[in-house]
Amino acid sequence: MNVDEFDYDLPAELIAQAPAETRDASRLLVLRRATGEVEDRAFTDLPGLLRAGDCLVVNDSRVIPARVLAEDDAGRPVELLFVEPLSERAWRALVRPGRHCKPGAHLRAGGVRLRVLGADPDGTRVIAREQGSIDALLDAHGLPPLPPYIARYAKPAPEDWERYQTVYAAAPGSVAAPTAGLHFTREVLERLSAAGVDVRAVTLHVGPATFRPVTAVTVEAHRIPPERARVPAATAEAIDRARAEGRRVVAVGTTTVRTLESAADERGGVRPFDGVAELTLRPGHRFGVVDALLTNFHLPRSSLLLLVAAFAGREAVLRAYRHAVDTRYRFYSYGDAMFIE
C-alpha cells in the first residue's frame, strides 16, 4: 500500500494556530467503526459517550522546553531541538540550519557555550555543554517545542507554556505534546471518575517522529524510531481486569496506543513495561488491547494518520476527515478531537 493513499486536502486556515479559549471547548467528531457513522459533538460530551467501567488510559509524559535559540561563532542564528539525553552534558538534537553545525562547531545560547560533537545518520547532532548540564540550559533558555506548522513556533506566546501541556503531565521527557490529552480539564476528569470511568496512566516520551514526514514510498517500509515508554504494574493490572470483565480499554492518543500495543502479551493482556516502544502501527495490525481511541486530527501521509487508519480503516477515516474539513473542524495539535469507538 502506497503512503500517498493516506493523503487528503486541508485548507491552511483549518490548521489551528492557537488553543481553544478553554481546554474543553473543542469540538468532538465521533466515528463508529461498526457502521462508519459520524456524529458532531462537543468534547464536554465525552463523559456521556464513555461507559461506566471503561478503563481510560492517558499518557502522562511532560513536555520539556526542548527548543533553544542559539547562534554560531559567526553570529548566525541556529535553532536547536534537544530530543534525547546521552549524558548530563550531551544530548542528541535536531539543528537548523545544519550546514552551520558541523562536528567541531561552537555555539552559544544565552551566554552558554555549546559544541557540536558529532552527527548521526538520522540527521541529529550530538550537542554538548562545556560546563553544566543540558537540563539546566533548557530550564533557563528553553522554549515550548511547538510544531513547525504553528506560525509562532520559534517564539511561543505566554499561553503556550500552559496550554501545550496536559493537566496531568508528570514525567518529563517529551519534545512534542501528546495532543489528545490537551482537551482534558480537572473538571472533565472528575466527571469521568464520577461516571464510573477508571482513569489510568502510562508514559511515552514523544520523540520528533511525531512531526517528521513519512519518507518511505510504501506503508510497509515505514518505521517509527523507538520511544521511551513505561506501563506501571497498577495500570497493567487495571487493564487486564477490564479486559477479563468485558470492559473497554479507551486510549487517549496515538502515543498511548503505541505504548499499550507494544506492552501487549500473547493473551491480549498488558504486562508491566519499562523500556522502549518499537512497534510501528500501520494498516494490517491486529489490535490486542485498545477498544476505543480519542485522538486529534493528524497530518496527511503521517505516521499518526497511518495508526488511526489501522485502527478504524482507511476509507472510514478519510471519509470522517472530509466531513471534518467540510464542517470546519480545527486540525492538528491545538485543534479539535475525534473519538473512535
Same domain, 59 and 73: no
DSSP string, 119-142: E-TTS-EEEEESSS-HHHHHHHH-
On whether the CB atoms of residues 287 and 311 are closer than 8 A, the answer is yes
On whether the CB atoms of residues 282 and 219 are closer than 8 A, the answer is yes
Same domain, 198 and 284: yes
Tell whether 148 is covered by a domain. no
Residues 258-273: b if buried by 16+ CB within 10 A, e if exposed: bbbbbbbeeeebbeeb
**pLDDT score recorded for residue 269:** 84
**pLDDT score recorded for residue 121:** 81
Residue type, 311: F
Task: Let me know if 50 is exposed, middle or buried by CB neighbors in 10 A (0-12, 13-18, 19+).
Answer: buried
Tell whether 14 is covered by a domain. yes
Same domain, 7 and 127: no
Residue 213 gets which letter from DSSP? P
DSSP string, 39-68: EEEEGGGHHHHS-TT-EEEEE-EEEP--EE
On whether the CB atoms of residues 83 and 91 are closer than 8 A, the answer is yes
Collapsed DSSP state (helix, strand, coil) of residue 317: helix
Same domain, 85 and 232: no
Tell whether 285 is covered by a domain. yes
In 10 A of CB 129, how many CB atoms? 20
pLDDT in tens for each of the 341 residues of the chain? 999 999 999 999 999 999 999 999 999 999 999 999 999 999 999 999 999 999 999 999 999 999 999 999 899 999 999 999 999 999 999 999 888 788 999 999 999 999 999 888 878 999 999 899 999 999 999 999 999 999 999 899 999 999 999 999 999 999 999 999 999 999 999 999 999 999 999 999 999 877 677 889 999 999 999 999 999 999 999 999 999 999 999 999 999 999 999 999 887 789 999 999 999 999 999 999 999 999 999 999 999 999 999 999 999 999 999 999 999 999 999 999 999 99
Tell whether 248 is covered by a domain. yes
Residue 270: closest CA among 225, 240, 300: 240
Spatial separation of the C-alpha atoms in residues 72 and 114, rounded to whole Å: 9
Same domain, 97 and 212: no
**pLDDT score recorded for residue 99:** 82
DSSP string, 223-291: -PPPEEEEE-HHHHHHHHHHHHTT--EEEESHHHHHHHHHTB-TTS-B--EEEEE-PPP-TT---SS-S
Q: Which residue has the cell 511547538?
A: 146
CA angle 36, 38, 42 (to 5 degrees): 150
All residues at 6 or more sequence positions from 266 whose CB lies less than 8 Å from its CB, including other chains: none
Residue that is last in its domain, among 141, 170, 195: 141
All residues at 6 or more sequence positions from 127 whose CB lies less than 8 Å from its CB, including other chains: 80, 82, 90, 91, 92, 93, 95, 107, 114, 115, 116, 117, 134
Give the torsion sign (CA, 209, 212, 215, 216): positive
Q: What is the chain's length?
A: 341
Tell whether 149 is covered by a domain. no
On whether the CB atoms of residues 264 and 305 are closer than 8 A, the answer is no
Spatial separation of the C-alpha atoms in residues 160 and 144, rounded to whole Å: 7
Same domain, 182 and 250: yes
Q: Which residue range(s) make up the domain with 101? A: 69-141
Tell whether 146 is covered by a domain. no
Same domain, 28 and 166: yes
Tell whether 155 is covered by a domain. no
Collapsed DSSP state (helix, strand, coil) of residue 109: strand
Q: How many domains does the chain have?
A: 2
Strands 77-85 and 67-72: antiparallel
CATH number, residue 121:
2.40.10.240
